[in-house]
Amino acid sequence: MSAPDPLLEARARVLHDLGVRGLDVPSFVDVVDDAVAARRWWVEQWADGSVYVAGLVAQDVQDRLLDNGMGRWPACTACDDLVPHELRVEPELGPDPQWVCDKAGMSVAALGSLA
């Protein structure tokens, strides 16, 4: 039995978090698939970096959605700040990525576990 594909796991985690916010529509899924495809070369070049790829894919999706005018994702609903803002992935390059509200300085959920 082969080892799980870290890119497929990253894709599943990001799609879960899109889905809980009602954003698992084709145009957003295409952005996720493009980010996963772009990271495949990176993982092939640095196999030890595969533990970091989920957070990188999530960040890539955030950047591409914003760059394409699709908005900030995921919007923070965890704090009392009235200014709309998104959750960020922390650590930026590390295992076990978390969605974090920078405004409140709190961890909201593990990547793939938004409620």
Predicted pLDDT of residue 1: 63
What's the pLDDT tens digit per position in 62-115? 999 999 999 999 999 999 999 999 999 999 899 999 999 999 999 999 999 999
Predicted pLDDT of residue 5: 93
**Domain-by-domain residue ranges, the chain?**
6-110
Cβ-proximal residues to 47 (8 Å cutoff; 6+ apart), any chain: none
What's the pLDDT tens digit per position in 11-42? 999 999 999 999 999 999 999 999 999 999 99
106, 78 Cβ separation under 8 angstroms: yes
Does the bond joining 74 to the residue before it have cis omega, within 30 degrees of 0?
Answer: yes
Predicted pLDDT of residue 4: 83
Local confidence band at 54 (pLDDT 50, 70, 90 cut-offs): very high
Answering whether pTM is above 0.95, one says no
Give me the helix-helix angle, 53-67 and 26-45, nearest 10°. 140
Predicted pLDDT of residue 99: 98
